[in-house]
Structure 1
């Protein structure tokens, strides 16, 4: 299927090599938790055996349509987020890939409202068929709520000033409805700017993460991964900002060591459930060819014992 907006998959070969490196027996089940525009999934399919299965998740209706258009009997498509990984059978998955963040077509399509560079409706929903838009949330949110979201999810030091400007604008001229309106308002509220970065970058990131519950879903998906991965199966996660990567890093570290409940000193130690394998960043050549890859970090871990 052709699409007017192009997407270059980040860490394409590195991710698929890491995912499919496990020594497992057929038939195998692979999972792409974020189909996006299908770069990773298509390469996985090209390396699968006839009896293997690839299950893909995505909340974006356009991504789901592109996945269905592949027309491969080995492909199972789910129009839902990867937080629903827990619906898969226990210890049934040979490898799980999660490529986090927003795809280039989502950013470049002004109608989706993700970008401060293009004028469009202030939407930002990953699943445009359901849920509250950013504009709808900003229309009714309290000043403190807005400031907290921008501060926590955008790590924005001027969160308070931005929130005050949003509320003042709402009271004076009505709610914000367009991306450029918000970008201009933020630019006026931010007193200093990071070199090479639009002043609205952190605010747009924060609102997108919040409205899509991205960090909460990531935590749910990681917890589910422990249950659905087979022993020896790989977990591969590509993140694009520090909030995501911190969650993934801590999760892998937490489950890569034996531990026991200090409240029950006689209880048996809980065995380690993951083994950290690698931390990989895009090459200089990839970043030069695709600047959106520059912040990517890929972490790889391996399931070590039978899921409960």
Structure 2
């Protein structure tokens, strides 16, 4: 409970990504003992506490993307008044593609202690079951929704040699995989992990084009995509036809010619002027 006369503590509490039984014992204790529980979805919180057999005695407030900025100051006030604030999101660790970063940053700025209850993570779970290299990886969160911005991001990642992990909405999974295949090659190994730890858990492995064709049949549930990193060296061939084609693909996706030339030159490891000349001489 509250630390009378002193500064409180912010607890980032990881919650199950599927089965309630995966929750650590400490999660129940933190929820029961909190002065304030800030939840991304209070209805999901009620379901979780029912599954855990926990009764929350403190104040429960909503804390989601739409009210993060407005609610953060009042939560910092509670912390400065000595209260213990527990932050939970719908699944996984707060602030990892979920609400939380603003509150953590504001708490740290005020000298508030920030700690965490480690819990299940869709990023690490998908990485572990993907069958792809796990020694070095990077998490890219959600890709941009607009085709042009997505193509620009993927081209910028073309030379990334670490395994890449993405979150994606089920209805955008096919488009994301198709864009990856176009940017990185049809045969780049990948895995689509959906409904991790849940009853209908499924992991599909294969080349990006193959997975895009599978996703065309419809995808349901929470989706995490894991993609093998680029092989060493440039990932866009530097022959004239490949360079022109790469720029054309980006332009078709809505990227300006200027930006496409810059990104393709970087990915191919050639001077920007060389790509410019090739494109404008065709």
Normalising by structure 2, report the TM-score.
0.30
